[in-house]
Amino acid sequence: MPKIKKCDRCLLYSHDPHLICVVHPAGPQGDSCLDFREDPNAQAEELWEPEGASYYNGELILQPQQRLTQQQQLELLDTHPMFTGKCPQCGYEFDRDYTARVHWDCPNSECGWMDDSV
One-letter amino acid for residue 114 of the chain: M
19 vs 111 by CB, closer to Zn ion:
111
Least separation, in Å, of the C-beta of 76 and Zn ion?
A: 16
One-letter amino acid for residue 89 of the chain: Q
Among 90, 95, 114, 118, which residue sits at the site for Zn ion (rule: CB under 5 A)?
A: 90
Nearest to 9 by CA among 44, 48, 43: 43
108 touching Zn ion, by CB under 5 A: yes
Cβ atoms of residues 23 and 12 within 8 Å? yes
Residues at the contact surface with Zn ion, assessed by CB under 5 A: 87, 89-90, 92, 106, 108, 111, 113
